[in-house]
Structure 1
Amino acid sequence: MTKKLIKEVALTLFAEKGYDGTALSEIAKAVGIKTPSLYAHFPSKEALFMEVYQDSIHTELSELSKVADEEALGGEEKLRTIFFVATDFSRSPDEKKFFQRAVFYPPKSLFEELKEETRTYEQLTNDILRKTLEPALPEDALTRWMHVFYALLDGLSVEHGIYDETEFELRRKSAWEVLASLLG
């Protein structure tokens, strides 16, 4: 239970303050333990951060996989649902904000490790998308579609922090319409 709680608290603090702005002592205090007790669960702040990041990736991939495996949805509807799940930044806001910070502003000491984890995440996401897209698109069009998917995902992650909910939803729907038009 303590390890899970440490990760939950760390997620919230890393999302709010970033890696450099979060001290292990803050995490320990919020959990209700002494700072040295953290080391019984994690050998370092870097290890804690990376485990929280990996958990975040696992959660996202699990949600996308559930949609991809939903047999009741047709191809385009499945892709639409995947897109809207991936761009639902109000769901699990701490997790989304943490992920954005880790990707857009990675700690220098973890840059290479995070880059590698992010590539793995993207490859696994590509596998999910490919499973749905392959019957409908040739390889070159499929690759372009996925490139646009990620560009829109990144852009919407920024816009979510700028616009109110109504404006953001209009932009999100417009982004999907453009992406759907690439399906032919």
Structure 2
Amino acid sequence: MHTRDKLKQTALALFAQHGYEGTSLAQIAAETGIKKPSIYNHFPNKAALFLAIFEEVESGIVALIDDSLTRSHDLPTRERLERLIRSCATFIRREHQGVFYKRYLLFPPTDVATQVAVISNDNEQRINAHLHVLFENGRQAGELRALPEAQFIAAFYCLMDGLFAENFYYDADTFERRLEGAWAVFWAGLEA
């Protein structure tokens, strides 16, 4: 693994565990096994390192959605949507990425908050494009009831945000039961 990648991997874990303010470049260097000045060969400062990680994590979510919808393209809308929700729910259970994502989506460091919002909004537009196609296909197939697309998208995000939060409160079995219940009610509100 290249030093740049090691730095990002180490910083991801430290930012997730100790927060942005609680993580220093010296800690990142020590955990990576390099001297602090070597970080500057790869990133001009801590904010740039953080943003590189945030962009990678956000892109990972979009890639996961791309993959889920591509692999399920021949299935009925109900199955595609359930697989998509389950795929997104597994993302948040990834050891450091899930904690990092939720923490900094809700509470971005002040000095990078504007950049975090831009990255997040750009990726949300990419996700919305996928949800648009899924919604249109479901409507055309007669699988989804008549409701505004904006409501469908808003409900999807609310469900995912709720599941992301639930992940931090419950063990895997309890989380699975809660996901099942939330999914059943969510689909009941969409089904034609």
1:129 aligns with 2:131: yes
Show CA shifts across 1:63-94 (max 9, x none).
Answer: 11011112343222111111111112564221
For the 8 Å contact 2:6–2:32, the answer to whether it is kept is: yes
Rounded Cα–Cα distance in structure 1 between residues aligned with 2:9 and 2:75: 33
Which structure 2 residues correspond to residues 172-183 of structure 1 after superposition, within 5 A? 172-183=179-190
1:4 maps to 2:10: no
* Mapping of residues 13-92 of structure 1, within 5 Å: 13-70=14-71, 71-89=73-91, 91-92=93-94
What is the CA distance between 1:182 and its match in structure 2?
2.6
Match of 2:173 among 163, 166, 171: 166
Residue in 2 that maps onto 1:98: 100
Name whichever of 92-101 and 38-47 sits farther off. Answer: 92-101
- Of 135-144 and 67-76, more deviation after overlay is shown by 135-144
Shift of 1:140: 5.1
8 Å contact from structure 2 (residues 68, 83) kept in 1: yes
Identity of aligned pairs, percent?
31
User: Which residue of 1 is the match for residue 142 of structure 2?
Assistant: none
Greater Cα offset, 109-118 or 87-96: 87-96
Instruction: Spell out structure 1 runs of 4+ moving beyond 3 A.
Output: 137-140
Q: Which amino acid aligns with 1:18?
A: G
TM-score, normalised to structure 2's length? 0.89
Residue segments in structure 2 that go unaligned for 5+ positions in a row: 140-144
Letter in 1 for 2:113: F
8 Å Cα contact 1:145/1:179 also seen in 2? no
Q: d(CA) in 2 for partners of 1:139 and 1:28?
A: 55
Q: SS state of the match for residue 148, structure 2?
A: helix
Q: Using the alignment, how far apart are the partners of 1:97 and 1:183 within structure 2?
A: 30
Tell me by how many angstroms 1:183 deviates. 2.1
* Paired AA for residue 142 in structure 1: E
**Contact 2:163 2:179 survives alignment (8 Å):** yes
Map of 1:151 onto structure 2: 158
Looking at structure 1, the residues matched to 19 and 137 of structure 2 have their Cα atoms a distance apart, in angstroms, of: 41
Please say if residues 92 and 164 of structure 2, whose CA atoms lie closer than 8 Å, have aligned partners that are also in contact: no
* Unaligned 5+ runs, structure 1: none
Pairwise CA RMSD of aligned residues? 1.7
